[in-house]
Structure 1
Amino acid sequence: MRASNHLIGVVNFLTFLLAIPILGGGIWLSTQANSTDCMRFLQWPLIIIGASLMVVSLAGFAGSCYRNTFLMYLYLWVMFFVIAALIGFVIFAFAVTDKGSGRPVLNRAYLEYYLEDYSGWLEKKVADNSYWVKIATCIRDSKVCNNMGRYVNGVPETSDMFYNRKLSPIQSGCCKPPTDCGYMYVNETVWGPGGGLVGANPDCSQWSNDQRIVCYLCNSCRAGVLASLKHSWRKVSIINIVVLILLVIFYVVAYAALRNNKRMDNDESYGETRMTKAHPSALHF
């Protein structure tokens, strides 16, 4: 086996290893969807890309071991489409999460989230009432708000302790009323009216101490989901960018090695042809 075939085999093995973080990122997004984000569609392209990369790298590895040109060319063609799909995924993930972030609040460690800070396709999808019903039900069933309670030496945390907590976007947007509504802290998910509601925030009238409702109907809850999605997708996309750069390098190396194999095959064929013409008697015994 030529050195080029060995090189292609090594590249395919490394490609197989690179498929693991892609597949792992898709699975991680899936767990996020099951626990907090509740948006179950973006993880599948990553899972499909990762699985496809694993399969094609194994095919390329077999082709390099057995000098099967068809399998090696199949590896290069499928790799091209996998790289293109991964580029498309990264661009899409950054495009739909390019706007919006939490707002700091005076005397609070957590951020507040407002739907008007977000825009674009993803915001419209989350804001759609027919789709939001499914997301809100998923968040309620995940018991994110039910699990917010904390105790210090067996005593529930005070309001000051709660205000100094780093809440997740879902916890801040869905499990408590917005700060500008003027509600008074009772516990993490129960709030009493203070000196009257303030501001014109429509979420103020949506808040309920009913633990089945809390702020699941609030725009702040929708904004919290968008912020959580942005954080998750950006984290996975950064990993995918690193993987993408390495995949392109491996693709170029594999392509160059395959061309080198083809050139050497042509040189051998040409050499055999010349020998045959120079010594025709070599064909007879």
Structure 2
Amino acid sequence: METAEILISRFGPVLAAAVEPSTPRTSASPAASGNAAAEASAVALHAEVLHQMCTADGLLELLDWSRQGLGADPLACMWLGSLRWYRLITGSYPEQAPQPPARRLDQQLQQLRGQRRLTVRHGSGAISLRGLSQGQMSYPSAPAQPETTDDTALLRAVPIGLVPYIDASMRSTWTRQALSLTHGHPDLLEKAAALADLVHRLATDAAAPESPETSERERRAITAGLDDDVAAILERQLLAAAGMDAGAAPSAAAPWSGASTGGASSSAGSPLGRHDRVTDPATPDVYSVIGELARDWEEVTRAR
């Protein structure tokens, strides 16, 4: 399999691996109803897992503009993704920030929250929220909160490691841009760039893998000393990047089976998904949302 095809194929399993292994793949019992049914099937996610998904959707928007031959700023696209995440968590955009057009992902996640099928761990994502609260786009040369070493932001580096057709230098640049939107400590930016590179190498070396011992050492080196929750999430995602089943999701090999719609659609002249709406009022679960995002990712990135 070609390198780009491997990276594209890893996108869905890696994002699904961020969900707790104990999260059920199916909804509550048909006998349950109303709030009880929603609460029985609720998924509690770290806020930075949702931020990772919104960053991935910002990358998708960027890649779709590029596919259409239209220029787009990677930093701006990732910032818009982060602003959508801010609204998902807080209920509104930062006061001074623009209000980006809705995309299918944030509509679906909002719907899951409204149905009480998705909850956010209390207090998670607070530092990133603070970094975005001024409503201004930050740059690596002038990052938000340059003093913070909060490692939960590292999760945003993971999908950048799965972007096909870019070189190591561009991957490092995009990763530093993504982190600088909310964080800016040089050590953290350096570790984020190393994480994106590791995700890329674990995926692309799968056809000719290094020794398992070397791979494990690299994974442990990148997760050592991190917040326990983030370390566990990254360990599962790194295993998924390498094509290994860590039991992160009941359907890790095909986490998008059973999604509510059959594929992506787009309005004429607009990037994929910009004006899409959820067509099924009972979106099954977070895995289905990830699955639709993965199908959009494949549609946008596959060779033509």
Same fold (TM over 0.5): no
Q: Which has the higher helix share?
A: 1
Query: Taking structure 1 as the reference length, what is the TM-score of the superposition?
Result: 0.21
Which gives a bigger RCO, structure 1 or 2 (Cα 8 Å, sep 6+)?
2
Query: Taking structure 2 as the reference length, what is the TM-score of the superposition?
Result: 0.20
Instruction: Choose 1 or 2 for highest CA Rg.
Output: 1
